[in-house]
Chains A and B, each alone.
Chain A
Amino acid sequence: MSSQSITHRQLFFLIFQTQIGVGVLSLPYSLFVKAKTDGWISLMLAGIFIQFSLLAIWKLCNRFPKSTIFDILPKIMGKPLGFVFNFIYTLHFAFISILILALYNQVVGKWILFDTPHWVIIFIMAFTGVYFITSTPREMARFFTIVTPLLLILLGLILYAYTDLHLLYIFPVGSVGVSNIIRSSSDAMVSLLGFDVALVFLAYTSGASNKKLKVLSFASLSVTLIYLFIVVTTYMYFNPLEIVIVPEPVLYMLKAFSFTVIERTDLIFLSIWIISVATSFISYLYVASKGLQTLFKLKKHESAAPFIALFCFLIAIIPNEKLEILTWNKYISMTSLLFSGIAPIFLLLIAVIRKKQEKGTASS
């Protein structure tokens, strides 16, 4: 077992922590825009769809054990086309990192540090990322594991909302129609992004292949359920008319709670949330640096780390208005849907049709 390999449990936490990220704060709002109070159904649909994507990812990686997506692409598409797709995927992962940086910057600038220049806020995240990704997936997974209990604090804080809930707010169910619910589920998919890093991390996982699938789908399921809990809680806490005007419903909800020892719980929530954002960012940055390593045929991904971080940092400081970030969000979300959600299924189809698979693996 090489020192880079990770166990099933570590894979679980890698995927779990990558999936939980920026989306937590704005998910209820972005779902509400299209699907109204049926947003939670969209979320569940997205969760189910992700399970299919994961199945495809797992199947694909299973055909090429110990290979990352960047090794697999040239194998199934031939070298020149594989190189082009490697480039596209690297860019794709880098742009998800950038989107995370931009959204994180937006929230931090709005809620915690009002006067700090944006580039400073982005810089500190981007270069903390460099320190993290110059390690191995195993060490990252260890870190992701020990910060996971912090999520319990987040959930505990949200649980406090149950002292003041109105069950009737989420009714009637299904009022907006099936088409709206399905259209909204694409927004939910974006918040659930993070499962796609499995394309790289599966290569490092040792152990039974069937168990890997179980771990992947369980990680994704847990995240979907946690999000469902958050979405349903906020829908029951806020009046449907209120949600439209609060883009970060979770924070507004927590802002209302005050305890005798602490006044603004939302700041505590945000501090812990930053760790969750960082884990997502780190995962994507790692994957992107792996891509850069393959593109430039570097010996170690460590040497690519500062450059990819610098790239993300420079791009992420460009958008400085809320509307700009929203447009970015829209486009990157679309490409993510394409490359993370749908592309694995097509890649698997290509691999099956062209009968490409690594020697020694059982054909299925």
Chain B
Amino acid sequence: MTFFKKPKKLKQEAAPVHIEEKGVNTENKTEEKTTIDDVLSQVKKPFGSTDDLVTQIIELPGDESKLAFLYIESIIDKQLVQSQIINPVFEISHENVQESFDQMMNLALKKQTDFTKAQSLLLQSNTLVFTEDTSCFYSLATPVKTERDITEPDNETIIRGAHDGFIESLSINLALIRKRLKTPKLTIKYLRVGNETHTTIALLYVDNIANMDYVKEVERRIRSIEADAVYTPGNIEESIEDKPFSFFPQILSTERPDRVAANLMEGRIALVYDTSPTAHVMPVNFFTFYQSVDDYNKRWIIGSFFRSIRLFSFFIAMGLPAVYIAIVSFHFEVIPFGLILLIKSSLEDIPYPPLFEALLMELTIELIREASIRLPTRIGSTIAIVGGLVIGDAVVKAGLVSNLMIIVVAITAIAAYIVPSNEMSAAVRILRFPFMIAAATMGFLGIIFGIMILLFHLCRLYTFGAPYFAPLAPFKWKDFKDAIIRVPFWMMNRRPQDLQTQQESLDNQTRKWDKS
């Protein structure tokens, strides 16, 4: 936490200090000579009394001149400083000291003349070297390696395909994408947000594919963010999405570099963050959330089947409890004769209305889910057994909830988790509550009006200017290829139209051998 607090002082004090510093610099050429200690104290001043800011002063072997190393201990690699800076200094031959010293400094280090940058360089894991020449200083990036290994993201596992995922380091995340898209057209723009946190965001797009209007729009929105602290990608997402009051996620969050790379090639824009394994993809449409990398590694018929199952699950997860409530409380006559006795016998002894039953069970499932997220996996499975099996069984035996309701709720819960995107799954789970209430008050009529409002909401939703419900609304038959089904690779010869890419056609002639 202290790390976050510290820069605050920097902001308050930095400005006057720099002005002074410049004054000192210009003065020293004309009047008396500033010493290395003056410079050091000026640079160190904004940091106050933090203990991890270390100054190391050594005297050069030949003459009397001094060298000062300045770094923040906690974020630099000491061994690197030793081997890259301190050791070479001592290896300088004793003959022409000054010359070889200058040579060494210029080769290994970066010469900086702008003293205003000194603090931010320090905060970015640089080691600063000050010499007797107070008009300039040298810097070298010596970041400490604190990254974890590249692992497969737990929340987006797939069966077949690459098993690497983003981690908490921007440079490695970018490397993972660059590794997949070895094209000079891949453009990366660094943007800084947060006056105090200086969070770095990388904006990625493929130059000759992505629509520049969307790129500009994304950049404009990010640049307009004015905040002291931006901690998580969620902050950014909330700041730049179109309709913050909508239930639906309007930016795709993923931890998979292959997913980001594929979306970039489709003409979308990605945001990759430092200190977070989450990357954002935009502009996306509703169906992007239902695509999984797995689809493309399966045979296409099977991939299409699972894709459509997933889309179907949207309706089940959202509507099944509502339809059940509507049928048992309003439209008993819809149930075929054979089933009616079964349902009647199951419902007869339940003391309260179906809506209450459904709400009770849906909330229980949400409770179990929320509880098992935070628990270690070993306890988590216990919770699942206690929550799922014991409560489910006991609640029926106690006569609180009907058998059928348990079945409905269970199917709904499973359907909600089929969505490959966690955000979309959450949206669907929330949406079923209004539907259940609508069904309990108006039966089918309520559901129909709910569906109409929902569909229209999707129709009028735009993300960064691109229609959200494409290719259904606006209806683009040709874009169904990768939305509702997944056609074979060799048939995907166009990029989605709603992205208005610079190159709509894709060169995808992978089965040329078959033609001859």
Contact = CB atoms under 8 A, between A and B. Distances in A.
Contacts of B330: 112-113
A267 B334 contact: yes
Contact of B469 (A142, A259, A268): A142
Contacts of B337: 263
Contact of A263 (B336, B455, B456): B336
Interface string B439-480: 000111111110011011001100000010100111100000
B459 A143 contact: yes
B475 A128 contact: no
B442 A145 contact: no
Given A132-B456, A135-B460, A143-B473, A124 B442 contact: yes
A125 B448 CA distance: 11
A310 interface: no
Given A135-B460, A143-B459, A264-B331, A113 B442 contact: yes
Interface string A136-171: 000100110111000000000000000000000000
A2 to B, nearest CB: 14
Interface in B314-352: 330-331, 333-338
A260 interface: yes
A311 interface: no
A131 B456 contact: yes
A267 B331 CA distance: 8
B315 to A, nearest CB: 13
A108 B475 CA distance: 31
Contacts of A125: 449
Interface string A236-274: 000000000000000000000011111110011011001
Given A128-B449, A139-B460, A271-B448, A263 B473 contact: no
Contacts of B334: 262-264, 267-268
A112 B455 CA distance: 23
A260 B338 CA distance: 9
B443 A113 contact: yes
Interface in A185-225: none
Nearest to B473: A142
A146 B448 contact: no
Nearest to A263: B336
Interface residues of A, number: 34
Given A128-B449, A262-B336, A264-B333, A142 B444 contact: no
A113 B445 contact: yes
A145 B336 contact: no
A364 interface: no
A103 interface: no
Contact of A267 (B444, B456, B474): B444
A278 interface: yes
Contacts of B445: 108, 112-113, 121, 124, 271, 274
B452 A146 contact: no
A264 B335 CA distance: 8
Contacts of B460: 135, 139
Given A139-B460, A142-B473, A261-B336, A147 B455 contact: yes
A146 B336 contact: no
A274 B450 CA distance: 12
A146 B333 contact: no
Contacts of B442: 113, 116, 120, 124
A275 interface: yes
Interface in B77-127: none
B331 A143 contact: no
A147 to B, nearest CB: 7
A261 B339 CA distance: 9
Nearest to A274: B448
A208 B472 CA distance: 25
A265 B334 CA distance: 8
B452 A278 contact: yes
Nearest to A125: B449
Contacts of A258: 336
B243 to A, nearest CB: 13
B167 to A, nearest CB: 41
Given A112-B443, A113-B442, A260-B336, A142 B448 contact: no
A70 B336 CA distance: 52
A112 to B, nearest CB: 6
Nearest to B340: A263
Most buried by B among A131, A258, A271, A275: A271
Contacts of B444: 112, 267, 270-271
A260 B334 CA distance: 11
Contact of B333 (A259, A263, A271): A263
Nearest to A136: B460
A107 B443 CA distance: 15
B465 to A, nearest CB: 10
Contact of B459 (A108, A139, A259, A262): A139
A271 B442 CA distance: 12
B83 to A, nearest CB: 61
Contacts of B475: 9, 142, 145-146
A268 B330 CA distance: 13
Nearest to B331: A267
Contacts of A135: 456, 460
A142 B336 contact: no
B459 A142 contact: yes
Contacts of B331: 112, 264, 267
A263 B474 contact: no
A132 B456 CA distance: 7
Nearest to A7: B474
Contacts of A128: 449, 452-453
Contacts of B456: 131-132, 135, 139, 143
Contacts of A112: 330-331, 443-445
A107 to B, nearest CB: 11
A146 B453 contact: no
28 contacts: A10-B474, A112-B444, A113-B330, A113-B445, A116-B442, A121-B445, A124-B442, A124-B445, A124-B446, A128-B449, A128-B452, A142-B473, A142-B474, A146-B472, A259-B336, A260-B336, A261-B336, A262-B334, A263-B336, A264-B331, A264-B333, A264-B334, A267-B334, A268-B334, A270-B444, A271-B445, A275-B452, A278-B449
Interface of B: 330-331, 333-338, 442-449, 452-453, 455-456, 459-460, 467, 469, 472-475
8 pairs of A and B residues whose beta carbons are closest in the complex: A142-B473, A139-B460, A142-B459, A143-B459, A263-B336, A271-B444, A264-B333, A145-B475
Interface of A: 9-10, 108, 112-113, 116, 120-121, 124-125, 128, 131-132, 135, 139, 142-143, 145-147, 258-264, 267-268, 270-271, 274-275, 278
Given A263-B337, A271-B445, 18 more contacts: A113-B330, A113-B443, A120-B442, A125-B449, A128-B453, A131-B456, A139-B456, A139-B459, A142-B469, A142-B473, A147-B455, A260-B338, A262-B336, A263-B336, A267-B444, A270-B444, A271-B448, A278-B452
